[in-house]
Structure 1
Amino acid sequence: MRFTNVLLVLILWSVVIVAAIEPISTGIAIGMAAALSGFLACYQNVLYYFHECCREEWISYNKSGLEIDLKRKLFGQHVASRVIMKAVTGFINNKNPKKPLVLSLHGWTGTGKNFVSQLIVENIYNKGMTSNYVHQFVATKHFPHLSHIDTYKAELQQWIKGNVTICPRSMFIFDEMDKMHAGLIDSIKPYLDYYDNLEGVSYRQAIFIFLSNAGGEKITRIVLDFWRAGRAREEVQLKDLESALSLDVFNNKQSGFWHTSLIDKNLVDFFVPFLPLEYSHVRMCALAEMEARELTPNVEIAEQVATEMTYFPKEEKVFSVKGCKTIGSKLDYYI
């Protein structure tokens, strides 16, 4: 705005000079000034196309894009895909949500939790994970010391308040919730609750995503029971997992959700289970990684990579211990 004002003053001053030196050019100069003034009136809008801001030009939900990404890039997660799609679409289409969207993603490492959070981001924010309105916290990096927990609480509150003030459609991703100090996440409870606003700031358009390995054992046990009973993996539904998962996480002393008010007050909208991956899913991950690297998918190499992964339980060897997490490095060995 300061630049706009200075430029306008210079233009008007040039009109005065032209009028004093060459009166016949005054009409032309005034016309130019009027035209440039009109441009400057739109100058702020023009800037929106070159510099990220909290507007639809930069923040716009691509429903079909997310749906396609989940179908083509996420393997073995029919429950998570369905829940994520419905939850995100319903929330963003709601012009007057009663609270922020709060998703808690649970499952063993390598099952796709981080990947899915990135897909959500990429289909809402034009700049993806580099957007100024997407904020990611990693427990071991940003909140390492238990002795500093009071400082972390105050800083986290100020960070969320400040960023939502700048852009109501901000997203906050908390990774490694299973390593977060118990009680810390409760500091943001007011921002996730059913309030019109807090101190003049509304948090209802914001999105909070929590990622955790906690609950992975419970999920695996339930899915393994289905497998042992001869039932298809696709028969597993959210109702088979969500209640047991939320209770397991709430009572887990090693989790940042231990006895948290976020669960006690039902502020988490969905506990999204990520199922342990099987051989076929690891194979698909390998093929997808080749495609992402713009290589011709090689089924034989994909099968080799999948075969070399470690599987559990010891007797049945049904699920990949690391999911698809080390696929990239294993492909480097073969390609």
Structure 2
Amino acid sequence: MAKLNGAYFVGTGLGVVIALVGILIYCFISIECCDCHWISLDEEGLEKDFTHKLFGQHIASEVIVKAIKGSLSIPDPKKPLTMSLHGYSGTGKNFVGQLIARNLYKNGMKSQYIHVFVSTLHFPHVQLTDQYQNELQMWIRGNVTLCPRSMFIFDEMDKMHPGVINAIKPFLDYTSDVDKVDYRKAIFIFLSNSGGDKINEFTLSILMSGKDRESIELSQLEEELSLMVFNDNNNGFWQTNLIQTNLIDYFIPFLPLEFKHVVSCVRAELASRGVKNESIVTIIASSMVYYPKEEKLFSLKGCKTVASKVNLYF
């Protein structure tokens, strides 16, 4: 048994046997089990959540919903579903993981089959890269052994050392098993701020030309985004086999949020607190910072600080 930043995990052999016994006990006492009772996609709920709760991201909503539904509908997928989400902070990348979790796992983000890693928290020291590689591979192997339908979310991929990223590669490939473990039903989601400048510049050019943001299509950004990530020397992604061997299924841009989207975020935050006060919604949304300096089209922090802004009024 090994340890990764305070979390224990199992590898192969006796450790896996012990863990399997443990999971059977969990099933018996109904804490959580890796079966259709605990893990089952609510397609209607997923579609509704992405339509009504993820604001200003028509590309992400369409692509991710189709990707999740398509992947889970195949009994014998060719590879794990792997998505790379790009855009500035506050645009909804982390929120997407929550929406998927609540509609796939009965316990939502509290499910023991969802694993979240933050680069600067879990892999902070370059000199420990080899250790991180070994521990991360053992963690993924052990948990997919326990539940093939595990979900792994890696935040701050642009800050992760390429050596650590490469440790993930064996589990994403087109193969039925790695060391007798099948990873093809797992889900891998990578979150990154890289590409944010390019996404924002393109969105601004569309709006300034008089076109609607909903006219932007994935094909207009995906190829350029993948090339930008590949060629960015300051991005850990660029040196990795994940990019070079085309193991990422989707590069998904998250567009900058406009005032109307911030208004929706404020309204949703108030509703979550049981507050119905439409007169205060615009006031709170207007208190956010917007850019560029002249046009003030986009929220500088997206919807990330909406909750703290609401705290000032309630």
- Given residue 298 of structure 2, which amino acid in structure 1 is its aligned partner? F
Count of paired positions? 291
Q: CA deviation at 1:88?
A: 0.3
Q: Is residue 158 from structure 1 mapped to residue 138 from structure 2 by the alignment?
A: yes
Q: Which residue of 2 aligns with 1:287?
A: 267
Q: CA–CA distance in 2 between the matches of 1:255 and 1:172?
A: 20
Contact kept in structure 1, 2:26 and 2:32, CA below 8 Å: no
Q: Is residue 325 from structure 1 mapped to residue 304 from structure 2 by the alignment?
A: yes
Give the TM-score, by structure 1 length.
Answer: 0.84
Q: Which residue of 2 aligns with 1:84?
A: 64
Contact kept in structure 1, 2:40 and 2:105, CA below 8 Å: yes
Structure 1 pair 212–154 and aligned structure 2 pair: CA distance change class (3 A): same
Pairing partner for 2:204 from 224, 227, 243: 224
Contact kept in structure 2, 1:80 and 1:274, CA below 8 Å: yes
Q: CA deviation at 1:254?
A: 2.6
Q: Which residue of 2 aligns with 1:245?
A: 225
Q: Which residue of 2 aligns with 1:11?
A: none
> Structure 1: 5+ residue runs without aligned partners?
1-43
Secondary structure class of the residue paired with 2:162: coil
Deviations 1:55-105 (A, max 9, x none): 111111111111111111111000000001100000000111000000111
Q: Which has a greater percent of helix?
A: 1
* Higher relative contact order (CA closer than 8 Å, sequence separation 6+): 2
Q: Which residue of 1 aligns with 2:42?
A: 62
Q: CA deviation at 1:300?
A: 2.1
- Given residue 93 of structure 1, which amino acid in structure 2 is its aligned partner? S
Secondary structure class of the residue paired with 1:184: helix
Pairing partner for 2:181 from 168, 179, 201: 201
Q: Which residue of 1 aligns with 2:255?
A: 275
Q: Which residue of 1 aligns with 2:282?
A: 303
Q: CA deviation at 1:255?
A: 2.1
Give structure 1 regions of 4+ aligned residues with deviation exceeding 6 angstroms: none
Secondary structure class of the residue paired with 1:301: helix
- Given residue 282 of structure 1, which amino acid in structure 2 is its aligned partner? V
Larger Rg, first or second structure (1 or 2): 1
Give the TM-score, by structure 2 length.
Answer: 0.90
The two structures, once aligned, show a CA RMSD in angstroms of 1.4
Deviations 1:281-322 (A, max 9, x none): 0011000111111211x2221111111111111221111000
Q: CA–CA distance in 2 between the matches of 1:46 and 1:211?
A: 31
Structure 2 counterparts to residues 1-335 of structure 1, below 5 A: 47-48=27-28, 50-296=30-276, 298-335=277-314
Q: CA deviation at 1:48?
A: 4.6
Q: CA–CA distance in 1 between the matches of 2:283 and 2:107?
A: 36
Deviations 1:158-193 (A, max 9, x none): 110111111111110001112111232111111100
Structure 1 pair 306–162 and aligned structure 2 pair: CA distance change class (3 A): same
